[in-house]
Amino acid sequence: MYYFKFIFTCFFILVSLSANALDPDELLQADQAFKVSAVTTKDGNVKISWLIADGYYLYRKKISFTSKTDSIRIERADLPAGKIKKDPNFGDMEVYRHSIKSLLTLKRPAAATTFALLVKHQGCADAGLCYPPQRTVLNINLPAINAPQTSDSFNPLDQISKGLGQSLALFSDKLLPADEAFQFFATIKDAHTLNLQWRIADGYYLYREKFNLQLSSDSAIDTQLLSYDIPHGKATHDEAFGDVELLYNNLSFNVPLARSNTAEHEITLTAKFQGCAERGVCYPPMQKTVNLLLPVSSTAATTSPLASVKKKTESEQDLIVASLQQDSFFLTLLSFLGFGLLLAFTPCVFPMIPILSGIIVGHGENITHRKAFFLSLSFVLASAITYTVFGVLAALFGSNLQAIFQAPWVIYLFSAIFIALSLSMFGFYNLELPKSLQTRLQNTSNKHRDGSFISAAVMGVLSSLIVGPCVAAPLAAALMYIGQTGDVILGGSALFVMGFGMGVPLLIIGASAGSLLPKAGHWLNASKIVFGVIMLAVAVWMLERVIAPELTMLFWAMLCIIPAIYLRVLDPLPEIDSGWHKLWKGAGVILLAYGVLILIGLSAGNTNPLLPLKGLASGSTNPQQEAPIEFKRVASLAELDQKLKAASAQGKWVMLDFYADWCISCKEMEAYTLNNPDVKQALSSFVLLQADVTENNDQDKALLKAFDLIGPPAILFFNLNQQEQSSARVIGYQEAEAFLQHLSQL
C-alpha cells in the first residue's frame, strides 16, 4: 500500500508541475498585453489609455509619466482607483485589468503643438510571469490654444460673441478620421481564441448590430470562427437602423476558433463594423483586415469548411453538437433518448405504426401478449441499429444514404412489397416460409417457429430506410458530430438510443395490441382486412414521391371508394342489425363521400388529397394567395454565390430552401407552411432560392457539405452581407405559426 501511495504522490506532483509550467510561446509580448495610446482633448490636454489583454494586469504604482518636451510640464495625472490584489512579490497592490484611462493636465505655451511623453508601466500575466518595467515614448500633436484676451475693458457684446463661438466650436471642430475614432486591435489569446478590441473615442459609438467577422477563404480551409458573445450596449431607436444598441469607450470580446490544423499557421481575419459621432454624423461601414499567426495547438477541433460567422445565439443543431462535445456520455444518451421520443410523433414516423400492427395482426390467433412485445422489440431494435450503422457510415463518408434508398426503382420495389403484404391480408394467398425451412426452424427453436422475429426485424430495417424521418435537428447534429470528430462510439451510441426512443411508442402499441386481441373470432379476419388497406395506403404514400400528383389523387380516391364498397355502404341495412354493423357502414359512407370529393378535385385540377376542393368552394379565389410559392433554383455553390450578390445589390435578404422529391417533410413544409398566405406575405421581401437535391449528384452533395447539412429539409437565411445567419436555421418540418414567429425574430 505504501508503494501505491508513493507512486500516486509522485504522479500528482508531476501533473501539477506540468500544469503550472509556462510556455513562453503562449505568452503575449509586452506591447500586445499592454497597449498604450494617447489622444488629445478639446482643451489641449492629453488622455492616455491602456488596453489590457485578458489574463494580464498592470500595477497602479508602477505607472508614471515624464514630459520630454522642455516647454511643457505635466501639472496633474488622474489615475482611477484599482482593485486590490495580494501580490507574492509586492504585497497588497492596486492593479488594473481590461482597460484604463488617465487624463494628463498640461502646462504649456500656446505655440507648443508637439509633445513627447515618456510613459512607464509594469504588469504581469495571471499565469505567473511578470514583465520588466516598460518605457514607451509617445509623440503627440497638440491642438493650438487661442491666446487669452489682453484688453482690460469689459464689453458685454464681446463676451456674448465669445460664448456663442465656443458653443459653435463643438460643430466646427473637425471629425476624427475613422481610424482614430474607432481603433481596432486583434491579438492571439491562445491557440483556440482570438481577442478583439476597439478603442472608441469620446463622443463616438459603434453599432452592436453592425459587427461582422470573416476569415479569408484560404484561412477557412482548416480554421473557423465559432460562436462569440458581443457585450451589450445602450439600447436606443435609430432613424436609419431601427432598434439598436450603441457601444461606447472600450469594447473587448473573445472569439473561439475551431482548428483542424494543429501546426503553427497564419490566418487572415476581416472585421466589419460601423459607427457614428454623437453630433449626428455617421461613418460609412468600415473594414479592417489583419494577419494573425496561430501557435501550435495540442488539440484539434474541426468544423465545417464554410467560413460563416455565427452570432451569440446558435441553431438547434449547433447547440446539440455543443452538448455532444461537453456533456457526459450518459447525459448525452439520455438527451438523445428524449429526442427520439419527440421524433416518434413526427409525421414521417406514423407509417411505421400500421406496418408493425399489420405484422402483429398477421399472426392471427397465435398472437400473445409476450409474442407481440418481442415482435415489436425485434422491429424497433432492428430499426435503431439501422439508424446507427447507416448514420455512422453517412457521417464518416459524407453520403446521404437515405437519398440512395429513395431512388425511383427502390420506391417501386418496396411499394410492390407492401401491396403484396396487403393482398396476403385480404386472403388472396399466404406469405410463409417453405415447409422444409419451417420444420428446420421449429427444430431449432419453438420461439422462432415461423421466423416471425426475423421477419419483424427485416421490416424494421426496411421501414427505417424507406419511411423513416427526413433529417431533423438531433439526427443532423449527431451525424455532424461524428463527421467532424470521428467519435464513432459516442455518435453511434447517440443514434442508437435516439432510434430506440423513436420506437418506444411502437413497443407500447405492439404490446397493448397483443394483450387486447382476443384469441380467435370472426373480427380477426376483419381487422386483417383493415390493416391490408392501411398497407395499401403506405404503398400509395411512398409512390407519391415518384409518380405524377394526378395519379396519386386517383389512387387515394380508389383507396377510399373500394373499401367502402366492401363495407357494403351501398347495401341497405336490415331492420334488425347490430350497432357495430351500423358503425362500420357509417365509416364506409364517410370513405365513399371523401373518395368522391377527391375525384371531383382531381377533375378540377387539384393535386392535394387533403384539400381536394381547394379553390372550388368559394367560387372565386385570390390568385396571389392561391398561387404556389415560387423559388429560383440554384444547382451549385457558384450559382448560389451569384444569386446572393444579386440579392445584396437589391437590398434583400435571401431564404434558401433545401428540397428533394423523396423528402416527405419537404413536401409537407411546402404545402402547409410555405404556401400559407400569411407566410407568403411575410416572405414577400425575401429572395427565395431553392436547392433541389433530389438526384444527390456531386453538385448536390457539395451544396449540402458546404453548409454542414446531412440532407433536407433545411431552410437557411442570408443577410445583406451575404452571410448565413446560422442561428436562424430551420431543420425539419415546422408549422406555419411557428415559422411566422421565427421570421418575425429575424
Task: Kindly indicate the confidence band of residue 420, based on its pLDDT and cuts at 50, 70 and 90.
Answer: confident
Task: Kindly indicate the confidence band of residue 717, based on its pLDDT and cuts at 50, 70 and 90.
Answer: very high
According to the model, what pLDDT value does residue 690 have?
94
> Could you tell me the sign of the dihedral formed by the alpha carbons of 711, 326, 223, 487, in that order?
negative
Q: What is the pLDDT of residues 336-362, one digit of tens each?
A: 787 777 777 665 566 666 666 666 655
According to the model, what pLDDT value does residue 7 have?
41
CA distances from 546 to 483, 540, 554, 560 (A): 30, 10, 15, 21
Q: Are 404 and 696 in contact (CB under 8 A)?
A: yes
According to the model, what pLDDT value does residue 157 have?
46
Q: Are 316 and 731 in contact (CB under 8 A)?
A: yes
Domains 26-145 and 623-744 share a fold: no
Q: What is the pLDDT of residues 617-646, one digit of tens each?
A: 555 444 444 677 889 999 888 889 889 989
According to the model, what pLDDT value does residue 561 have?
87
According to the model, what pLDDT value does residue 634 have?
92
Please state, for a pLDDT cut of 70, what percent of the chain lies above it.
Answer: 70
The reported pTM is 0.42
According to the model, what pLDDT value does residue 226 have?
85
More reliable by pLDDT, 367 or 284: 284
Contacts with 90 (C-beta within 8 Å, 6 or more apart), sequence order: 59
According to the model, what pLDDT value does residue 521 have?
47
CATH architecture of 623-744: 3-Layer(aba) Sandwich (3.40)
According to the model, what pLDDT value does residue 2 have?
40
Report residue 518 as a C-alpha cell.
382476443
Does the pLDDT at position 688 exceed 90?
Answer: yes
Q: Which backbone phi and psi does 163 adopt, to 5 degrees?
A: -65, -40
According to the model, what pLDDT value does residue 528 have?
64
Average pLDDT over residues 470-489: 63
In sequence order, which ranges of 65-200 are alpha helices (DSSP H)?
156-172, 178-181
More reliable by pLDDT, 48 or 453: 48
Q: What is the pLDDT of residues 41-76, one digit of tens each?
A: 877 888 898 889 888 999 888 898 888 888 888 888
Q: Are 736 and 675 in contact (CB under 8 A)?
A: no
Q: How many CB atoms lie within 10 A of CB 389?
A: 15
Q: Are 614 and 647 in contact (CB under 8 A)?
A: no
Contacts with 399 (C-beta within 8 Å, 6 or more apart), sequence order: 393, 701
Task: Kindly indicate the confidence band of residue 262, based on its pLDDT and cuts at 50, 70 and 90.
Answer: confident
According to the model, what pLDDT value does residue 623 have?
43
Most confident of 151-165, 340-354, 471-485, 543-557: 543-557
CA distances from 228 to 252, 311, 693, 730 (A): 11, 6, 32, 21
Does the pLDDT at position 321 exceed 80?
Answer: no
- Three-class SS of residue 214? strand
Most confident of 15-24, 235-244, 295-304: 235-244
According to the model, what pLDDT value does residue 20 have?
44
Rounded to an integer, what distance in angstroms lies between the CA atom of residue 347 and that of residue 354? 13
Does the pLDDT at position 451 exceed 50?
Answer: no
Report residue 297 as a C-alpha cell.
495547438
Eight-class DSSP state of 669: I
Beta-sheet pairing, 632-633 with 687-692: parallel
Task: Kindly indicate the confidence band of residue 10, based on its pLDDT and cuts at 50, 70 and 90.
Answer: very low
Please state, for a pLDDT cut of 90, what percent of the chain lies above it.
Answer: 8
Q: Are 143 and 44 in contact (CB under 8 A)?
A: yes
Most confident of 77-86, 207-216, 253-262, 581-590: 207-216
Task: Kindly indicate the confidence band of residue 189, based on its pLDDT and cuts at 50, 70 and 90.
Answer: confident
Q: Are 245 and 207 in contact (CB under 8 A)?
A: yes
Does the pLDDT at position 176 exceed 80?
Answer: yes
In sequence order, which ranges of 604-659 are alpha helices (DSSP H)?
623-626, 637-650
Task: Kindly indicate the confidence band of residue 246, based on its pLDDT and cuts at 50, 70 and 90.
Answer: very high
Q: What is the pLDDT of residues 82-140, one digit of tens each?
A: 888 876 666 778 889 988 888 888 888 877 778 888 999 998 888 778 888 888 888 88
Which CATH fold topology does 26-145 show? Immunoglobulin-like (2.60.40)
Task: Mean pLDDT check: name the lowest of 302-316, 610-624, 708-722.
Answer: 302-316
- Three-class SS of residue 503? helix
Instruction: Tell me the pLDDT of the chain averaged across its residues.
Output: 75
Does the pLDDT at position 661 exceed 60?
Answer: yes
Does the pLDDT at position 16 exceed 50?
Answer: no
Domain parsing of the chain, residue ranges: 26-145, 178-312, 325-522, 548-620, 623-744
According to the model, what pLDDT value does residue 360 have?
62
Average pLDDT over residues 553-574: 82
Q: What is the pLDDT of residues 200-244, one digit of tens each?
A: 998 899 999 899 999 987 887 788 888 888 988 888 877 667 778
More reliable by pLDDT, 296 or 170: 296
More reliable by pLDDT, 310 or 238: 238
According to the model, what pLDDT value does residue 716 have?
93
Average pLDDT over residues 304-308: 36
Task: Kindly indicate the confidence band of residue 152, based on its pLDDT and cuts at 50, 70 and 90.
Answer: very low
Does the pLDDT at position 327 exceed 80?
Answer: no
Rounded to an integer, what distance in angstroms lies between the CA atom of residue 473 and that of residue 339? 9
Does the pLDDT at position 311 exceed 50?
Answer: no
Does the pLDDT at position 471 exceed 80?
Answer: no
Does the pLDDT at position 14 exceed 50?
Answer: no
More reliable by pLDDT, 609 or 442: 609
Task: Kindly indicate the confidence band of residue 656, based on its pLDDT and cuts at 50, 70 and 90.
Answer: very high
According to the model, what pLDDT value does residue 82 have?
84
Does the pLDDT at position 273 exceed 90?
Answer: yes
Task: Kindly indicate the confidence band of residue 271, based on its pLDDT and cuts at 50, 70 and 90.
Answer: very high
Write out the H or E segment, with its range, that includes residue 116.
strand 114-121
Region 178-312: CATH code? 2.60.40.1250
According to the model, what pLDDT value does residue 448 have?
38
Axis-axis angle for helices 452-466, 352-361 (nearest 10): 170
Task: Mean pLDDT check: name the lowest of 127-141, 283-297, 475-489.
Answer: 475-489
Rounded to an integer, what distance in angstroms lies between the CA atom of residue 366 and that of residue 209? 68
CA distances from 354 to 384, 459, 531 (A): 18, 12, 7
Contacts with 686 (C-beta within 8 Å, 6 or more apart), sequence order: 652, 653, 654, 655
DSSP 401-435: HHHHTTSHHHHHHHHHHHHHHHHHHTTS------H
